[in-house]
Amino acid sequence: MKNLIIIAARKNSKRLRNKNLTKIGKKNLIQRSIEFALKISDKTYVYLSTDSEKIKSYSKKYNIICPALRPKFLSSSKASSSDVCIHAIKNFIKITNNTVSNVILLQPTSPFRTVAYYKKTYNIFKKNKKPTITVSPIQDKKFIQTSKNKIKFLKDEKKNFYEINGNLYIIKVSDLIKTKSFFKKDFNISITKSKKLSVDIDTIYDLDIAKKFVQWNY
| Strands (E) located in 111-149 | 132-137, 142-147
- This prediction has a pTM of 0.89
Cα 133 from Cα 170, distance rounded (Å)? 7
Residue 116, SS3? Answer: helix
> Where does residue 160 fall: left (phi above 0), alpha (psi -120 to 50 degrees), or beta otherwise?
left
Question: What does the pLDDT read at residue 48?
Answer: 98
Q: What is the mean pLDDT of residues 60-89?
A: 94
As a whole-number percent, the residues of the chain with pLDDT over 70 amount to 89
pLDDT digits (tens, 9 = 90+) for 148-194: 666 565 565 556 689 999 999 999 999 999 999 998 789 999 999 99
pLDDT digits (tens, 9 = 90+) for 111-145: 999 999 999 999 999 999 999 999 999 865 555 55
Count of CB atoms within 10 A of residue 150's CB? 7
The secondary structure of residue 49, as a DSSP letter, is: E
